[in-house]
Amino acid sequence: MPSRRELIQMTEPEIAAFLTEKKTLIIVSNGRDGYPHPMPMWFATDSAGALYCTTFSKAQKVLNFERDPKATLLVEAGEEYAELKSVLIYADTTIVRDADAVAEVLVNISTKGTTIDEEQRGKVREQVRATAAKRVALKFTPSKIISWDHAKLGGKY
């Protein structure tokens, strides 16, 4: 008999689909005072499973990740306990400072969930180019992923 934990665990394709459909990621860095520093951020993923967001280069979270690259990430959904679905990710953070790379992350976040051609991507890239110069991208490379989908229990606890 599988454990309850095994019954609610999401498969890799389920995790990928969930991360693709959701827009907001809670990123948690380690603050200099020892307290966790959680922040909601829009995000995008790549085909290798890394997650990305952007922020202003002088933001507190950037200082925190410069000091300690460990991050905890959470994406969640559900209004009732029986619907609760989450992906918790432990990750290492890389701060990307190249303006072109930051612009590409901004494009990916801005167009998440839409289908656009290369000409449209180019227009979005031009729109974000000015802000990209003041920003960095945060690349999160997962080291451990924990997931749960309580809907898999069909309301039986």
pLDDT in tens, 25-38: 999 999 989 899 99
CA–CA distance, 29 with 23 (Å, rounded to integer): 19
Q: Where are the domains positioned within the chain? A: 4-97+136-153
**DSSP designation for 81:** G
| Phi, psi dihedral angles at 60 (to 5 degrees) | -60, -40
Looking at domain 4-97+136-153, its CATH class is: mainly beta
Separation CA 74–CA 81 (nearest Å): 17
Radius of gyration of the chain (CA): 17
Query: Is the pTM value of this prediction over 0.75?
Result: yes
The residue ranking higher by pLDDT, 136 or 124, is 136
Q: Is the pLDDT of residue 2 over 70?
A: no
